[in-house]
Each structure stands twice: as structure tokens, then as C-alpha cells.
Amino acid sequence: MSSDMKRNFALLSGPLAFLLLRFTAQSFGSAAASALGMAAWMALWWVFRPVGIAVTALLPIAVNAVLNLIPSGHVISNYFSEIVVLLLGADLICLTWSRTGLDRRVAVKALCGIGTSMRQQILAWLGASVVLSVFLPNVVVAAILCPIAAAMLKFVNGGKNPDVRQSAPILLAIGWGSGIGGFGSPIGGAANLVAIAYMEQLTGHEFMYVDWVLRFVPILFLVFLLNLFFLWQINRTTQDLNGSASYFKKLSEEFGPLKRGEKIGLTLFVLATLLAFLRPLYAELLPGLKPAYSFLTLGLLMFVLRDENGEVMLDWKYAESHVMWGMMFLFASGMALGRMLIETGAVKQLTALIAASGPSGGLGTIALFAAFGCFLTEMSSNTAAASIALPVVISITQTLRLNPVPYMLLTVVAVNCAYVLPVSTRAIPVSYGLDAGLQIRKGLRLTVLNVLLVTALGWFCINYVPFFARF
């Protein structure tokens, strides 16, 4: 097949999938079928990439404008949401790193500490992502770690963009790790707080945070191991990073002391991270200064502060041409698509199919809830997925006269484990060079493995760990 034919096939695959679902899934309703078709169109274009991935991310705006599936304002508002503001702020801060040379310094320090073995690199980046996302929003974690990893990879490749195969395991480790760590503590994500609210409403008494940790940390450890071994398997044919530990140590010493510009870039980056982490301490005093706005506020300071040469840290001409606008569109597209699926009733129809499948409460039911939670998170945010999935779980388990608590807890794990589409947190590594098609292909395999693991763990906990189900 010629290159032109391949490109034409790739271009047509998305619209044809859209039309196929729009006219064959009419039992869902025309609007819902169109929303499902929109999801298929975007997924195929992200895999085959006949156009830029950021162009694909703008499709919900255009298609909704033509078909009027939901109010246009409900779609467009996602493209400059609070999370997009956070990404813009983080990007503005990190742009100064390359201008001052701080990115090279941080890269060398990371290599000195972690080493050049790809297995060690994967373990370190996955571990850091998981641990940080237990306490911080997963978007913040990915926004913090991806530029550091990208700087390191570019440095060891002589200043050129790194080989896709070499960078993929590290960027996947950050994207996936910052997602799964979210269920490690109640403050790890809004989806967890949604679950706690439902459980307290259901039982009539408070769910202690320590009880959450005792139940979920062992599961998180096993999910972490699954991700680690899967990433190591991807890495089988990937070479270690260039250079030796002694070379990087010597290079680190040659940098000398931090310059004023480097200090400013590092200080504001650390301060933004601390403000996000310590938000509960000042939330009452500054209710509007959420992490998104603290990152943007400190990012705007870069246009005012001056380096050791008396020049501003950042000017708009440089920022305009270097800000990752595509990353923001990509992130927003997942939220826009999720809004379309929810408001058109597509999710409601899928829920009805689950209820009609005759779940009995056994292994099959656990697998069904886990798969449903993963699917919803791929198509929206984990908060939206939890808000949709948990009432379904409660309704079905109560109909079967089962204790809903363990099934709800397992669904929480599922909605925090998404690996496939380059939306939400998973859009950030793609913007730093990760192949979206590779993420989709590998992510599908890991999703299946993760659903099987959660199903097996759920069945074991329900049947042999009484504490897990006790509230």
C-alpha cells in the first residue's frame, strides 16, 4: 500500500467509525450514538495520526457545532478550565528552565541519583509518580515530573529529541504512575472524596481516612508491581541511557553554583508545588488560590523578575512560540468528550446494559464493575467516572442484597486506573514526545491485565478479608 493510500485510509477511518456508530447504535438515541462515534473517531485518529494529535483534540468543538449534541458552551468551557490554567502556569515556569540552563543541571542531578540503567530509571520515575500522586492531584504530578524527565532524556541524547523507544518507558511510567497513585489516600483525587461521600450517605456514619489507607495501600502496592513489571517488559529491547555515573558526577561539578536566574526558576517551581501540596493549610484564608491559580500566578511573575544579566526571565514572544498549546487542547478534549457522553445519555444507556446483564455478585460482577470504571475514566475524568459508576454499583448490589461497600471500593480502584487514550493526565507525557499510538496499544494490554488483577483482588478481599468489607 502506498503512503498516500495509507494516509487516506487513516483519514477516513475516523469519520467512517463515527458514521457507523451513529447509524447502527440508534437504540442508544441519535445524540448518544453520535457521542460514541465521536469517541471512536478520536481514538482512531490518535492511533493512526493522519493529522496532529492536537488537531484531533479540537474535534468535539467542530462536531458538536454541526450536530448540536449538547450546548456548545458546555464543550468549549473545557478548553480553558481550571486544569488547563494549571498546565499553562506550570509551562510558563518550566520555560525559564531551558533559558537559564536549569533543565540541564536538574537532568544531570537526576542521572547522578538514579543511574543510567533503564530498569532503575523506570522504577524511580514510576515510584516517584505514584508516591507524589497519593498526596497531590495527578495532573500536578505529571506536570512537575514530565519536564524534568524530558530535559534528562534530551541531555543524554546530545541536545536532540530522544529516540521514541527510549523515552517511552519513562514517560509512560510518569503518565500511568501519576494516575494509579490517586487511590492511595482520600486526598489523592476528587474521585476518592466522591466515593467517601456516597459511603457516608449510604451508612450514616463517618469514613475515617486511616481506614481508607489500610484498605487501599496493599492494593496500590500490587497495582504498582503490575505496572512496573509491564514497563520492564516493554523495555526489553531498549538500551540504557548514554553516559556513566562518573561522567555525570564530573559534569555536575562543572556547573558551579546556581545562578540568579536558575534560583528564581527553581524557587518558583518548588513554591508552586508546595502551595499545591499544602493547600489545606491556607484554604480558608485564600479560598480562591487553588493549585491552578497559584501555578499561573507564579508563572506570570516570570515576565517581571530578572536574571543575573538584568533581563526578564520570560518575554511573551518566547512564551507564545514555546508554550505547549497542544498539550492543553489534548487534555481538554477528554473532558469535553466526557461531557458529551454524559449529557447525551450515552453513559446512561451503557449503565442500563450493565444492569440488564444479570449480575449475580460473584467474580463476573466484580469484573464488570472494574471494566465499567476503567471505561468511564478513559472517556472522562476519574471524578466524573466515580460520580457515574458508584450509584450504579450501589443500585445493583442493593438489588442483589449484597453489602455495597467492597464493590464500591473496588470500583474506586478501577476509576483511578486508566492507561489508553491520550486525554486527562495521559495527555501530558504525549506532549513531551510520547507516541500516542504506542500508549494506546500498550495501554489496552495493561488495562486488561489491570481489570483481571482488580477482579482477583476484589474476589479475594470480599471472601477472605472481612475487614475490607466492614464499614
Kindly state whether residues 120 and 218 are assigned to the same domain.
yes
Q: At what angle do helices 118-135 and 102-114 cross, to 10 degrees?
A: 110
CA distances from 451 to 230, 278, 375 (A): 14, 33, 11
From the list 405, 431, 97, the residue with the least C-alpha distance to 270 is: 97
Q: Is residue 419 part of a domain?
A: yes
Across the chain, which distance is largest between two alpha carbons, in Å? Answer: 71
User: For 302, which DSSP code?
Assistant: T
The residue out of 262, 297, 324 marking a domain boundary is 324
Kindly state whether residues 257 and 290 are assigned to the same domain.
yes
Q: Is residue 11 part of a domain?
A: no
Contacts of 132 (CB under 8 A, 6+ apart): 141, 144, 145, 178, 181
User: For 136, which DSSP code?
Assistant: S
Q: Is residue 7 part of a domain?
A: no
Report d(CA 34, CA 28) in Å as an integer.
9
Report d(CA 399, CA 274) in Å as an integer.
46
Residue carrying the nine cell digits 478479608: 465
Q: What single-letter amino acid sits at 127?
A: G
Query: pTM, whole model, 2 decimals?
Result: 0.70
- Indicate the SS3 state at residue 80: helix
Q: What single-letter amino acid sits at 222?
A: L
Q: What single-letter amino acid sits at 316?
A: W
Cell digits of residue 222: 500490587
Kindly state whether residues 400 and 433 are assigned to the same domain.
yes
User: For 241, which DSSP code?
Assistant: P
* pLDDT tens track, the chain, 471 positions: 567 788 888 899 999 999 999 888 878 888 989 988 998 898 888 778 788 878 888 999 999 999 999 999 999 988 888 878 877 888 888 888 878 888 777 767 776 777 778 888 898 889 888 887 876 667 777 877 888 888 778 877 776 776 677 788 989 999 999 889 888 877 666 677 777 777 777 777 766 667 777 888 899 999 999 999 999 988 776 667 766 566 567 777 777 888 999 999 989 988 987 887 688 788 889 988 887 888 899 999 999 999 999 999 999 999 998 887 877 787 778 778 878 887 898 877 877 777 676 666 678 888 888 888 888 788 666 776 777 777 778 878 877 788 888 888 888 899 888 898 887 788 889 888 888 888 889 999 999 999 999 999 989 988 888 877 666
Kindly state whether residues 305 and 169 are assigned to the same domain.
yes
Q: Is residue 443 part of a domain?
A: yes
Give me the phi and psi of 129, to 5 degrees please.
-65, -45
Kindly state whether residues 352 and 292 are assigned to the same domain.
no
Give the pLDDT confidence score for residue 306 in this predicted structure.
93
Find out whether 10 and 37 touch, Cβ atoms under 8 Å. no
Q: Alpha helices, DSSP H only, in 136-286? A: 138-156, 164-180, 190-203, 209-234, 245-254, 260-277, 279-282
Q: Alpha helices, DSSP H only, in 59-117? A: 59-67, 72-76, 82-100, 102-114
Helix (H) or strand (E) holding 419: none
Q: What single-letter amino acid sits at 235?
A: N
What is the number of residues in the chain?
A: 471
Find out whether 149 and 125 touch, Cβ atoms under 8 Å. yes
User: For 255, which DSSP code?
Assistant: T
Task: Provide the domain limits for residue 330.
Answer: 28-69+326-469
Q: Is residue 10 part of a domain?
A: no
Residue carrying the nine cell digits 438515541: 29
Number of Cβ atoms within 10 Å of the Cβ of 352:
13
Q: Is residue 5 part of a domain?
A: no
Kindly state whether residues 317 and 348 are assigned to the same domain.
no
Kindly state whether residues 408 and 298 are assigned to the same domain.
no
Cell digits of residue 202: 449510604
Find out whether 378 and 421 touch, Cβ atoms under 8 Å. yes
Find out whether 23 and 29 touch, Cβ atoms under 8 Å. no
Kindly state whether residues 275 and 383 are assigned to the same domain.
no
From the list 9, 30, 7, 3, the residue with the least C-alpha distance to 19 is: 30
Report d(CA 53, CA 43) in Å as an integer.
10
Kindly state whether residues 310 and 330 are assigned to the same domain.
no
- Indicate the SS3 state at residue 402: coil
Report d(CA 409, CA 195) in Å as an integer.
8
CA distances from 69 to 30, 72, 361, 377, 439 (A): 9, 8, 36, 21, 29
Kindly state whether residues 419 and 382 are assigned to the same domain.
yes
The residue out of 324, 355, 387 marking a domain boundary is 324
The residue out of 271, 304, 324 marking a domain boundary is 324
Kindly state whether residues 123 and 59 are assigned to the same domain.
no
From the list 387, 356, 355, 389, the residue with the least C-alpha distance to 370 is: 389
What's the N-to-C CA distance of the chain in angstroms?
A: 60
Cell digits of residue 278: 499544602
* Per-residue b or e along 428-458, where b marks 16 or more CB atoms closer than 10 Å to that residue's CB: bbbbbbbbbebbbebbeebbeebbebbbebb
Q: Is residue 17 part of a domain?
A: no
Give me the number of domains the chain comprises: 2
Q: Is residue 240 part of a domain?
A: yes
Report d(CA 22, CA 24) in Å as an integer.
6
Report d(CA 55, CA 80) in Å as an integer.
16
Cα 407–408–411 angle (5° rounding)?
90
Give the pLDDT confidence score for residue 255 in this predicted structure.
78
Report d(CA 136, CA 317) in Å as an integer.
32
From the list 443, 432, 461, 442, the residue with the least C-alpha distance to 147 is: 432
Kindly state whether residues 337 and 274 are assigned to the same domain.
no
Give the pLDDT confidence score for residue 206 in this predicted structure.
66
